[in-house]
Amino acid sequence: MTKSVPRRPVPGSGKAARPSVPPLSLLGPRPLEAAKTLPAVHLRSVTTHPLIFRKMVGTVDGHAQPGDLVTVWTPEGALWGHGLYNPRAEIAVRMLNRSQPAPDLDFWTSRLDRALQLRRELLRLDDVTDACRLVHSEGDGLSGLVVDRFGDVLSAEVFSLAMYQRTPALLQVLADRLGTRHTITRIAPQTHGQEGFLAEPVSSAGAPAEVVVQEHGTKFKVNFADGHKTGFFCDQRENRARLAEFCRDKTVLDLCCYSGGFAVQAQKLGRAREVTGVDLDEDAIALAKENARLNNARVQFTQADAFAYMRDMLQNGRQYDVVILDPPKLIKSRREVDEGRKKHLDLNRLAVQLVKPGGLMLTCSCSGLLDDVEFTKVVLTAARQAGVPPAPVGAAGAKPALARPGIPVQIIAKTGAAADHPIAGDCPETEYLHAVWLRVCG
């Protein structure tokens, strides 16, 4: 979720070298039918995880090309399954199945039909929204591909070369089943360095630059040109609706509000008395204001850095009945875990002080490398440290001062991404969104 913390690389953090652009033939579309003969990849070691890293790969047929569907064999020579191969990537093979036959057109269409069945038949999302996730990468057995539906548009974000090659065909299958008219495909930013290719966004002829969708009856504008990822964050849909239940006649602060999802729903569904949304991104604030106007929602949006805004409010003695803290992804690689954990700690330490006694705080992390247990520890540590001044250095022999408990809180719930973002049993990283609901004790 795009938030008040800057999304651009932190100055001085450095950038990976841009990979060379591969031949156009490697970026061309591939059919979903399997070739009669597949290259073989022999592993040094096996894992039940769908992502096989380069260091786990032993020998590879010399004619295997980036993006090929390959047969994968164990070190003992037993069939391990089939996957998509890219020697340029650290993730060399993305597994698709662990059986015969090799994935063909029926396999791909079956995977897509299974994904649609979850959203349309089990979850019945068509009854509440026309914006949802249709394909959730490993969560739907299609590693490297994410597809969201926004009304008449299928918006895809691609994380692998092999999936990029097959995305036109996969989107056509989805469009045939759903009756949608337009497609937009973009490459995830980190894919450039991780998969070794560059590609510009691709849109179908006449694809709109923006659309208006509805979620539980509330309208939101989706901007494909300036929006992040696929254009809108469907993963917080159920959390937005649940949060609204606590907002009637309350004062609400939505920190890192992006396009105003929580803020608008707090006023529209929740009938909050006063709502403020804060984000550093000027374009996000402009879009949030449009969304408020679309729904005749009275929301005050402010462009500001979340840290600075919270410090100002604390200095002014301001508190709110409900506070939402939903920053962008603060940890993008394992080397950023410590720094990202500290940012989460600092943000939560300030935010919890803005909640009135007896009030509610919803705090979120979309950094998959910070799991639920660790994120919860960060949140509770922030509450213990909140408002506690450094202990004074006493004179020699003096008795230590009594410890102060910080702000007492109760965890009343933990949630995650909406159910159209399923968690793969063999890929725990697909559980990327963590939401902790805190009551600040009076």
The dihedral built from the CA positions of residue 26, 32, 35 and 40, taken in this order, carries a sign that is positive
Q: Please return the burial class of 230, using the count of CB atoms within 10 Å of its CB with bins 0-12, 13-18 and 19+.
A: buried
Are 113 and 63 found together in one domain? Answer: no
Quick check: is 414 in a domain?
Answer: yes
Last residue of a domain, one of 78, 97, 116: 97
Are 167 and 314 found together in one domain? Answer: no
Contact in structure between 88 and 195 (CB atoms under 8 Å) = yes
Are 291 and 339 found together in one domain? Answer: yes
Higher pLDDT, 103 or 387: 103
Are 87 and 162 found together in one domain? Answer: no
Contact in structure between 131 and 229 (CB atoms under 8 Å) = no
Q: Which domain holds residue 256?
A: 233-388+404-440
371: helix, strand or coil: coil
Contact in structure between 72 and 83 (CB atoms under 8 Å) = yes
What's the rounded Cα separation, in Å, for the pair 206 and 182?
Answer: 8
What's the rounded Cα separation, in Å, for the pair 271 and 275?
Answer: 10
Percent of the chain at pLDDT exceeding 70: 89
Find the range with the poorest average confidence among 38-42, 186-190, 268-272.
Answer: 186-190
Mean pLDDT for the chain overall: 90
Residue type, 331: I
User: pLDDT tens for residues 301-330?
Assistant: 999 999 999 999 999 999 999 999 999 999
Higher pLDDT, 232 or 269: 269
The dihedral built from the CA positions of residue 259, 261, 263 and 267, taken in this order, carries a sign that is positive
Q: How many domains does the chain have?
A: 3
Are 146 and 246 found together in one domain? Answer: no
Quick check: is 302 in a domain?
Answer: yes
What's the rounded Cα separation, in Å, for the pair 64 and 136?
Answer: 27
Q: What residue ranges in 173-266 does DSSP mark as E strands?
A: 182-187, 202-203, 210-215, 218-223, 251-255
Position 194 pLDDT exceeds 90: no
> Which pLDDT band, with edges at 50, 70 and 90, does 331 fall under?
confident
User: pLDDT tens for residues 151-172?
Assistant: 999 999 999 999 999 999 999 9
Last residue of a domain, one of 211, 242, 276: 211
What's the rounded Cα separation, in Å, for the pair 306 and 353?
Answer: 14
Are 194 and 118 found together in one domain? Answer: yes
DSSP result, 128-185: TBSEEEEEEGGGGT-TTEEEEEETTEEEEEE-SHHHHHHHHHHHHHHHHHH---EEEE
Are 289 and 377 found together in one domain? Answer: yes
Q: At what angle do helices 337-351 and 306-315 cross, to 10 degrees?
A: 30
Phi, psi (deg, nearest 5) at residue 432: -100, -25
User: pLDDT tens for residues 55-97?
Assistant: 999 999 988 999 999 999 999 999 999 999 999 999 999 999 9
Quick check: is 367 in a domain?
Answer: yes
pTM of the model: 0.88
Least Cα distance to 213 among 124, 148, 142 occurs for 148
Tokens of 65: 């090309």
